[in-house]
């Protein structure tokens, strides 16, 4: 709410979007567009979609991350961005060209935006850490550990990821396909490291074993 209140107080025009699971926003080339997106709640992943159909996940974005996309580079590189929601998410979209450090009333807002940029840089680094692993199985394990830490709820010595994430989305994030993801998930289920709830939410039954899973996979 702090973003909404501050923007309203400063009379800065913005739009709010509600995204349900698997909803997405596509960002194409728009000349002279200086648009930023602020995640005010939810969990989303950002991917580049190239004209040959290839996709590359570059970040998993959480609350208070801030995304500012360079239209000029999008035009040159022949790709577009797609922001995909993994659960119910709320996003603010605004144009930043009216913000100025010369205006005292804008300074606090700009400081908060810089904090959002910093948090987004950490999200990029985290995604690089996931994709650095050569084998898909290790990427999936790192993703599950991340989701457990950022979104998980501890109940009866287990960690529940409180929303449904499809194996297709897992594949998009780690750079694989649904069949490969399915095989690895099933192995983790057989080893009783993870399981699914009745609502198809992933339950981490043994977080220590998940950390050590790379030794047995």
**89-134: per-residue pLDDT in tens?**
999 988 877 676 667 777 788 888 889 989 999 999 999 999 999 9
Both 58 and 102 in one domain: the answer is yes
Q: Which of 130, 147, 178 is the last residue of a domain?
A: 130
- pLDDT (0 to 100) of residue 174: 96
Both 14 and 121 in one domain: the answer is yes
- pLDDT (0 to 100) of residue 101: 65
pLDDT at 139 over 90: yes
pLDDT in tens, 148-192: 998 999 988 899 999 999 999 999 999 999 999 999 999 999 999
Question: What domain range is 144 assigned to?
Answer: 134-213
- pLDDT (0 to 100) of residue 1: 60
- pLDDT (0 to 100) of residue 102: 67
Residue with tokens 């991340």: 146
Given a contact cutoff of 8 angstroms between Cβ atoms, the answer to whether 180 and 171 are in contact is yes
Both 118 and 11 in one domain: the answer is yes
| Total domains in the fold of the chain | 2
Both 180 and 204 in one domain: the answer is yes
pLDDT in tens, 37-76: 999 999 999 999 988 889 999 999 999 999 886 655 555 5
- pLDDT (0 to 100) of residue 33: 59
Given a contact cutoff of 8 angstroms between Cβ atoms, the answer to whether 86 and 44 are in contact is yes
Q: Which of 106, 130, 154 is the last residue of a domain?
A: 130
Q: What is the pTM of this model?
A: 0.86
Both 159 and 198 in one domain: the answer is yes
pLDDT grade, residue 141 (50/70/90)? very high
CATH code of the domain covering residue 65: 2.60.120.10
Kindly report the backbone phi and psi dihedral angles of residue 193, in degrees, each rounded to the nearest multiple of 5, phi listed first. -85, -40
DSSP string, 15-62: EEEEE-TT-EEEE---TT--EEEEEEES-EEEEEEETTS-EEEEEEE-
- pLDDT (0 to 100) of residue 5: 81
- pLDDT (0 to 100) of residue 96: 74
H-state helical runs in the chain? 2-9, 71-77, 104-132, 136-151, 167-174, 178-190, 207-212
| Beta pairing class for 35-41 and 66-68 | antiparallel
- pLDDT (0 to 100) of residue 27: 81
Q: Which of 130, 157, 189 is the last residue of a domain?
A: 130
Both 155 and 125 in one domain: the answer is no
Both 144 and 100 in one domain: the answer is no
- pLDDT (0 to 100) of residue 95: 80
CA distances from 87 to 45, 92, 169, 179 (A): 11, 16, 12, 23
CATH code of the domain covering residue 202: 1.10.10.10
Both 62 and 160 in one domain: the answer is no
Both 102 and 201 in one domain: the answer is no
Both 123 and 138 in one domain: the answer is no
Both 119 and 157 in one domain: the answer is no
Both 21 and 106 in one domain: the answer is yes
């Amino acid at each position: 709410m702090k973003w909404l209140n501050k923007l309203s107080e400063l009379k800065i025009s913005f739009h709010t979007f509600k995204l349900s699971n698997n909803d997405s926003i596509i960002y194409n080339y728009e000349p002279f567009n200086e648009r930023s997106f602020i995640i005010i709640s939810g969990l989303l992943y950002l991917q580049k979609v190239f004209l040959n159909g290839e996709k590359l996940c570059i970040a998993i974005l959480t609350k208070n991350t801030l995304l500012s996309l360079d239209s000029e580079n999008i035009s040159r590189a022949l790709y577009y961005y797609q922001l995909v929601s993994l659960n119910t998410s709320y996003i603010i979209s605004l144009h930043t060209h009216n913000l100025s450090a010369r205006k005292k009333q804008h300074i606090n807002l700009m400081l908060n935006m810089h904090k959002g940029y910093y948090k987004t840089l950490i999200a990029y680094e985290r995604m690089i850490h996931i994709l650095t692993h050569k084998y898909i199985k290790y990427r999936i394990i790192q993703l599950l550990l991340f989701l457990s830490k950022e979104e998980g709820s501890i109940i009866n010595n287990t960690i529940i990821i409180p929303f449904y994430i499809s194996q297709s989305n897992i594949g998009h994030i780690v750079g694989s396909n649904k069949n490969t993801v399915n095989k690895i998930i099933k192995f983790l289920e057989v080893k009783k490291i993870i399981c699914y709830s009745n609502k198809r939410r992933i339950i981490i039954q043994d977080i220590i074993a998940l950390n050590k899973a790379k030794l047995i996979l």
